[in-house]
Amino acid sequence: MALAVLLAAGGWWLLRGSGFGAAPQTTFVLLDGSTENTSAWRGKVVLVNFWATSCTTCVAEMPRIIATYDKYHGQGYDTVAVAMSYDPPSYVVNYAQTRKLPFKVAFDNTGEAALAWGDVRLTPTTYLLNKRGEIVKRYVGEPDFAELHRLIEELLAQA
């Protein structure tokens, strides 16, 4: 009986961990001070990456996130990098400028966005959204970029 309960709970956790469901309605403050709401992403495949300048894995994966953005941006794909609340804004601005990040970078100064997206505490945590604004995949740690690219291509091909 206890094993059945554990298996059921594990299955629920895996489904929940896969991130199925609508992305939370969130308004992000971007580097230039403008705001963007998740509702503006409808019709696009979007990667939302929670990261920090102090996170070595985040910094290591960033060139591949840039390459992914460059590869698919012209096809209806977008990326938003959300800096964690503990990351000093001056560090985020410096990083984005010196690395010439080509996509939107947002501050989560209050931690509200991380909380809304499943109480994100570990970085990097990355979500992939389909054109309907639903989360189809969640990665904790660096994604398998070959798998990510296959999934992006599949989602871009959908109506």
Quote the DSSP letter at residue 42. T
How many residues are present in the chain?
A: 159
Quote the DSSP letter at residue 94. H
| CATH T-level topology, domain 30-157 | Glutaredoxin (3.40.30)
Domain ranges for the chain, please list them. 30-157
Give residue-wise pLDDT tens across range 25-66.
999 999 999 999 999 999 999 999 999 999 999 999 999 999
pLDDT in tens, the chain (159 residues): 433 333 333 333 343 444 469 999 999 999 999 999 999 999 999 999 999 999 999 999 999 999 999 999 999 999 999 999 999 999 999 999 999 999 999 999 999 999 999 999 999 999 999 999 999 999 999 999 999 999 999 999 998
Q: E strand or H helix at 36, and its extent?
A: strand 35-37
pLDDT of residue 159: 82
Quote the DSSP letter at residue 122. S
